[in-house]
Structure 1
Amino acid sequence: MSDVALQVEKLSKMYRLGTIGTGSLRQDLQRWWTTAIRKKEDPFFQLDPTDVRRQTLWALRDVSFEVKKGEIWGIIGSNGAGKSTLLKIISRIVRPTEGTVRGRGRISSLLEVGTGFQAELTGRENVFLSGYILGMSKAEIRAKYDEIAAFSGIEKFLDTPVKRYSSGMYVRLAFAVAAHLEPDILILDEVLAVGDAEFQKKCLGKMREVSQSAGRTILFVSHSMQAVTNLCEKCLWLQHGQVKALGEVTTVVNQYLANAQQFKLKQNWDQPADAPGNDRIRFKYIELVPQHAQPDSPLDIRTPLTIKFEFWNFADEILISTSLVLFSYSGECIFDVPSTATMCQKGIVSGECTIPGNFLNDGSYYISLYVVKDTSTSLYDYEECLSFDLEDYRGEIKWYGKWWGAVRPLLPFRLTQTEWVLQ
C-alpha cells in the first residue's frame, strides 16, 4: 500500500555460537582448510566440550509487522529480546537468515552513541561525514548546519576533535545530525539514555515534531516506558526474539509491565527480625483491600481501594507521619498523600487510607510508603510494597479507544439546552 513506510515479513535471524572471524585473511583460510577440507577441529576457537547448550541461537523468529508513513512505533522488551538485532536488519547492517524487509525512502539509524563518527575529526567535520553517509549532498548539509549546531547545544566545541567529547556531547551531536537531515525513517536505539533530562525532553519534542509536521516514520527503542508511552502511537513487544504483542501503545506497555511484575496485594510478618525496615521502623503488615460491591467483582476503575498497614516503632515520644505515594509502572508519580503527624510511643502504629472509586484510570500501579519523623527526617522508605492492576469499565459509553490521562475522576458535569432554533 502507498501509505506503508516499512513492512517486515516473517523475519528471522540465527547466530551460530562460537563462530567468529580470526581478524586475519591468512588465518581464515587456514581455518577453512582445517575445518572444511581436513575435517578437523577449529585451530583458533573451540567451544568448551562440557558446554551442552545449543550451537545456534535464534535472535529473531518469524517477526512480522507493518508501519505506516508518519507513525511513531516503540519497540520494547527485556535485554536480549532481539530489539537491537531487528533494528540492525532494518538498517541493512545485518542480513536476515529468513524473511524480508521492505521500506520506502531514506533510512537514518542512530543505534549507539556517536554512530558513524570518526574520532580524529572535529564535530563540524563529523556533521558533514554523517550527512554523506546518510546520502545528503554538501549543499543540503550546509543549509541545515546552523540548525544542527544550535540544537546540539555544543556550538563552541564543534571545532574540537570528537575523541575529546563526553558521551553526552557525542549523543547530542549524533542525534542532532540524524534528526535534521530529513530521513524518511528514523531509527533510534536507546541512545537518549545517555543525555541529560533536559536534552531528552528536547529530543522527544523534536521527534514528535518531525513525525507530525514532516510525516516521517520513527522506530524508537527504549527501556523507559514513560518515554515510549508519551511519544509513540503503536508498540511492538519482543520476547525471546518473537512478537509477544503489538498494537496501541498503552495496551501493549501495560501488558508488558503486568508480565514483568508480580502483583502484591498483601504482606505480613510475624517477627520484627524478618520484616522490612531498620532499627527505628519495621513493617508488620500491609494490605490493599478492594471495597467490592460483590465478593467476586473484578478490580476495576470503579472499585474503592483501602490501604491498611501496621509497623513496629522502636522509639518513644516521636512525631511520625507517613506518605503514601502511588506510581504507574511506567514510572509516573500519580499522587503523594501524607498522613497527619502523630506523636507515637514505642509499639505498633497503624495507618489506613482509601483511594475512592472512579478516580484512577485503568492500568498497572504500585504503592510506596515513606515513614518520616518531624515531617522532615526519613525513618524508612518502603518502595513498591503493594502493586495492583485496574481493569477498564465503560458502562453505557460506546467509545472503546484508550481513555487519556493518569486519573479518570467521575466529576459533576452536565450539558443544558439553553436555546432552541425553531424551524
Structure 2
Amino acid sequence: MSNIAIKVENLSKAYQLGEIGTGTISRDLERWYARIRGKEDPFLLIGETNDRTAKSSSDIVWSLKDINFEIEQGDAIGIIGRNGAGKSTLLKVLSRVTSPTSGRIKGKGRIASLLEVGTGFHPELTGRENIYLNGAILGMRKKEITRKFDEIVDFAGVERYIDTPVKRYSSGMYVRLAFAVAAHLESEILIVDEVLAVGDAEFQKKCLGKMGDVSKGEGRTVLFVSHNMGSIMDLCRDSILLHHGSVEATGKSGEVINKYITGNALKSKIWDREDTSNEIASFRKIYISNGESIINNLEVSQENYLNILVDIQDIHQLKTLAFEIKSFNDYSLFCSHDYDIGKITYKQGLNHFRIKLPENLRPGSYYINIGSNGAGFSTVEYFKNVIDFEVINSNEVIDNRPGIMMFPLKWIS
C-alpha cells in the first residue's frame, strides 16, 4: 500500500487580470467550446509567469505553472518563496478552495486547512457552534467532535468566550480557535498558511509544538507556509521552494532555505547609498574588509572587519548605532551596539567605524542588518540584509560539533 499522502502532477493555475471575459463574444465562445471538448483553453496559451515586478503584455498570469511533487504520509513539509511566488495559491488548490486550471491532485484522507484568519468560520455562530460546524464539514460525527471539544477549547484558551459569536472575537482569539480546531479535529492532512503571525509569540511557539506532535506523534501530514525560516527549520525536515509559480528546489530544509536566501540576497560586496536626507544621521556605506581588500568570503584564520560609514548631521540627537548578524535560516546570532565596550565619540559629518568580527562563526551564509536610534531608542534608520557574506572555512577540530556558533573554551582541572 502506497504511503503517498499528496501527489501533484503538472498542476497549473491561471488568473485573468482586469475584467471577467476576453472582451469579445466570439473569443468567449471559442474558450467555452474548447472546454466542453476537453481541450486546453486557447486563451491561456498567451499567459505569462506571475512576476509582479515586471510590466505585463498579457491579461493572463500563471500563479502556478507545471508543479510536480509527492508528499509521504506523516511528513511535515515547508513551502517557502517570496511574496507572489504562488505559495498561498498552491495551498488553496490543495485545500480545494479553488480548482486548478490544468493538472491533477491525488490526496489520501481528509484535509483541514487554516489559510487565513476565520477560515471556515461563520461570524454569526458562537465558538462552540463553529467547532461542531468545522467537524461536520470534515465528515466527523457529533460524538467524535464532543470527545475533542474540551481539548480544543483548552488549547485555544477561549473558554470564557466559547458561547459568544465569533464576530466579536479579536483577530488573535479568532486564529487561536481556528488553529485549535484545525489541529485537533481528525484530519489526515493539516495545511497551515502563515496566519500564525497574528498570534502572540507564546501561542506561535505552542502552535509549532502542536504541529510537530501532529506530524511526528500522530503520523499526520503537515504543509506549512512561513516566512520565518527558523520555524521552517524547526518543524519541517523537507521543503519546497517556489519562484514565479514554479518549483525551483525541493529537498532538505536547510539546503532549500540556503538556496532561497542566497538567491534573494544582495550579491554586491558593498552596500552604497547616495540618496540620504535624514536630519540626524544617514548610513552611507557598509562593507567587510580583511585589512587589505573588500571581501564577502571570510576566512576565520584572518582578521575581518565590518566597516560602517555614516553621515552624522546632529551629534546630540544620535544616541546609538547597531548591527545584527543573522544566519541563513533567519536565526539572530547576535547584535552589537556602539556602546558595548566604551561609548564612541561622534563627529559632525562622515564617520568611519571598524568592528572586528568574531572568529567563531560556522561555515555558511550570513546577513547583516543595521540600525540607528535617537532619544528613547526611537528609530532613526533601519535596513535589513544590507550585505551578505560567506564563512568559507573554520577550525577543523570543532567544525563538526552542533551549535549555531563555535566557542573553543579553556578547561581547567
Structure 2 residue aligned with 1:151: 155
Label 1:178 to 1:303 Cα distance change in 2 as closer, same or farther (>3 A): farther
Structure 1 residue aligned with 2:129: 125
Structure 2 residue aligned with 1:7: 7
Structure 2 residue aligned with 1:362: 364
Matched, 1:136 2:136: no
CA offset at residue 203 of structure 1?
Answer: 0.8
CA offset at residue 289 of structure 1?
Answer: 1.0
- Is this contact kept in 2: 1:11–1:63, CA < 8 A? yes
Distance 1:113 1:140 in 2: 25
Q: Structure 2 counterpart of 1:309, which letter?
A: I
Structure 1 residue aligned with 2:404: 406
Q: Structure 2 counterpart of 1:336, which letter?
A: C
Structure 1 residue aligned with 2:324: 325
Matched, 1:352 2:354: yes
Q: Structure 2 counterpart of 1:244, which letter?
A: E
Q: Deviations over 1:132-158 (max 9, x none)?
A: 101111111000100000111111111
Label 1:369 to 1:307 Cα distance change in 2 as closer, same or farther (>3 A): farther
- Is this contact kept in 2: 1:366–1:384, CA < 8 A? yes
Label 1:11 to 1:282 Cα distance change in 2 as closer, same or farther (>3 A): closer
Distance 2:113 2:377 in 1: 48
Distance 1:113 1:385 in 2: 30
3-state SS of 1:86 partner: helix
Structure 2 residue aligned with 1:217: 221
- Is this contact kept in 2: 1:275–1:282, CA < 8 A? no
- Is this contact kept in 2: 1:13–1:59, CA < 8 A? yes
CA offset at residue 112 of structure 1?
Answer: 2.0
How does 1:22-101 map onto structure 2 within 5 Å? 36=29, 53-101=57-105
Q: Structure 2 counterpart of 1:323, which letter?
A: A
Q: Structure 2 counterpart of 1:10, which letter?
A: N
3-state SS of 1:342 partner: coil
Q: Structure 2 counterpart of 1:411, which letter?
A: P
Matched, 1:175 2:179: yes
Q: Structure 1 counterpart of 2:269, which letter?
A: L
- Is this contact kept in 1: 2:240–2:249, CA < 8 A? yes
Label 1:300 to 1:125 Cα distance change in 2 as closer, same or farther (>3 A): farther
Q: Deviations over 1:340-372 (max 9, x none)?
A: 213455465442212234424412311314367
CA offset at residue 74 of structure 1?
Answer: 1.0
More deviation in 140-149 or 97-106? 97-106
Distance 2:117 2:223 in 1: 17
Q: Which of structures 1 and 2 has the bigger CA Rg?
A: 1
Distance 1:87 1:346 in 2: 53
- Is this contact kept in 2: 1:187–1:218, CA < 8 A? yes
- Structure 2, unmatched stretches of 5+, are 33-54
Q: Structure 1 counterpart of 2:337, which letter?
A: P
> C-alpha root-mean-square deviation of aligned residues, in Å?
3.7
- Is this contact kept in 1: 2:80–2:242, CA < 8 A? yes
Distance 2:213 2:133 in 1: 25
Matched, 1:241 2:245: yes
Residue 231 (structure 1) aligned to one of 232, 235, 242: 235
Identity %: 41
Structure 2 residue aligned with 1:383: 383
Label 1:210 to 1:73 Cα distance change in 2 as closer, same or farther (>3 A): same
- Is this contact kept in 2: 1:313–1:345, CA < 8 A? yes
- Is this contact kept in 2: 1:257–1:329, CA < 8 A? yes
CA offset at residue 59 of structure 1?
Answer: 2.1
3-state SS of 2:202 partner: helix
Distance 2:66 2:88 in 1: 16
Distance 1:130 1:327 in 2: 40
Structure 2 residue aligned with 1:286: 286
CA offset at residue 162 of structure 1?
Answer: 1.6
CA offset at residue 392 of structure 1?
Answer: 5.4
- Is this contact kept in 2: 1:185–1:218, CA < 8 A? yes
Residue 117 (structure 2) aligned to one of 102, 113, 116: 113
Structure 1 residue aligned with 2:43: none
3-state SS of 2:71 partner: strand
Label 1:378 to 1:343 Cα distance change in 2 as closer, same or farther (>3 A): farther
Distance 1:385 1:247 in 2: 25
Distance 2:67 2:118 in 1: 28
Q: Deviations over 1:70-121 (max 9, x none)?
A: 2211111223322222222222333323323222222211222222222221
User: What TM-score does the superposition give when structure 2 sets the normalisation length?
Assistant: 0.79
- Is this contact kept in 2: 1:328–1:366, CA < 8 A? no
3-state SS of 1:6 partner: strand
Label 1:384 to 1:316 Cα distance change in 2 as closer, same or farther (>3 A): closer
- Is this contact kept in 2: 1:315–1:345, CA < 8 A? no
Distance 2:308 2:28 in 1: 67
- Is this contact kept in 2: 1:254–1:364, CA < 8 A? no
- Is this contact kept in 2: 1:281–1:379, CA < 8 A? no
Label 1:119 to 1:305 Cα distance change in 2 as closer, same or farther (>3 A): same
